[in-house]
Amino acid sequence: MTESKSIFNAASKRRISRRSVLASAAAAGVAAGVGPNIVKALGEVPVKIGENDPFTGTYAALGNSQHEGAMLALGQINKAGGILGRKVEIIAEDNAADVGKATTKFHKLVDKDKVDFVEGSVSSAVALACEHAAALKGVLYVATGGHVDSVTGTHCSWTTFKTCSDTWMLNKALASVLLSKYGKRWYFSTPDYAWGHFLYAGMTKILKEAGGTNLGNLLMPLGTTDFTAGLIKIKEAKPDVLIVFNAGDDFVNLMKQATQFGMTEKIPFGYSLIELEPLAALPAVARTGWGVMEWWWDQPNNPHVQSFVAEYRKLYKKTPSARSWLGFATTHAIAMAANDAKTLNPIKVSHSMAGMKLPPEVALGPYQPFYRAADHQCMITEFVGQVNSKGTYPNLFTVEKEIPGATLAASPEEKGCKMTYPA
């Protein structure tokens, strides 16, 4: 038994509840109106999309949300005729946010499962590893998460696109609020791998240019459970703001412990990326600060968002997060590019996706995201706002402003991307 999971195979070693498995099956077929008779009407040989995401470990909740969004999109794609008139399947692999596992799973998806495309990643280190594997294999890969700028910067490749933001986009969005509301003596908490390093380098550059003071950086390994010693030092430093770059379970552990030290009541907190899943895992007293969401479900004036939220809630009995939307948008983007190219040839599909705009029913936001042709980075909307400490799930965040990503992003030249295609 492997850890792979086809859309029509509920047997899996992933740590997903039976309800989640059934919901995924519904999203792939029944709930979307793709019954057996309709599937037979599509091409007999399916188009396969490999999903390389973390379903266990520190980023499990985020990976599962990406999977749920992808499965919802899959049902819609098959209902609309699939890709090139053929049924589409997703084969999902659990990489546990581990680079070695992710690389192994990528090769397994391509060599054994014969997938046509690959999507996924939450960890930036995993995204970089998958990008390298995609270039070696000549397979189109879309990084759902994994935000480091180098994916679409110095390491940019014709084989790789990225739906989530660059770290620079996130930092610029957050700094626009913090620099206007608080002092400029900042302390940082950073996970010790690519994601954290890029965020820290970018935000300290912004702080220096603003004439601020860097009081220190708590650098901890991914998967840290005890932040006590570092938090004591931060409390003693009395920063104007504590910038937390940690995510997933690391974020939850840090915020709970900071609350025990009384820090959430005395120190303003800032998050370059804040997400619904870890917020929901916190007690109310630990919910504080300003942050950036990459998508938000409460957009009352957008009927497409309302339909998406209703369908997601029906399938999964919960509210979609930004990770849900990232998985949804990425899967649709792959299908759109292949159908537009009228082929599964990765080079031609890549050309089709370069510059592609997401339609309103996929964009689900105030601005139209697009994959910038010069570096394959998606220009999505940044939702900047305040954590709602008095709210109940899912009302845990209040959006103060929406910023189009294209106004925040560094240029491909500034990022060091030199995009080339095979002859």
* Residues spanned by the domain of 314: 18-165+301-379
Are 184 and 205 in the same domain?
yes
Residues 188, 214: contact at Cβ < 8 Å? yes
Whether the CB-CB separation of 191 and 217 falls below 8 Å is answered with no
CATH number at 265 reads 3.40.50.2300
pLDDT at 28: 42
pLDDT for 43:
57
pTM for the predicted model, two decimal places? 0.91
Domain count for the chain: 2
Residue 273 shares a structural domain with residue 325: no
Low-confidence ranges of the chain (pLDDT < 70): 1-43
Selection from 302, 311, 290 nearest residue 364 by Cα? 302
Are 305 and 352 contained in the same domain? yes
**Residue 52, domain member (yes or no):** yes
3-state helix, strand, coil in the chain (%, to 5): 45, 20, 35
Q: What pLDDT was estimated at residue 44? A: 80
Write down the pLDDT at residue 423: 85
- Residue 9 resides in a domain: no
CA distance linking residue 280 with residue 392, whole number of Å: 9
- Per-residue pLDDT of 342-390, as tens digits, reads 999 999 999 999 999 999 999 999 999 999 999 999 999 999 999 999 9
Could you tell me if residue 3 is inside a domain? no
DSSP-derived secondary structure for 262-310: THHHHS-EEESS--HHHHHTS-GGG--SEEEES--S--TT-HHHHHHHH
- Burial environment of residue 409 by CB neighbours within 10 A (0 to 12, 13 to 18, 19 or more): buried
- 201 with 272, same domain: the answer is yes
Task: Check if the beta carbon of residue 106 is closer than 8 Å to that of residue 119.
Answer: no
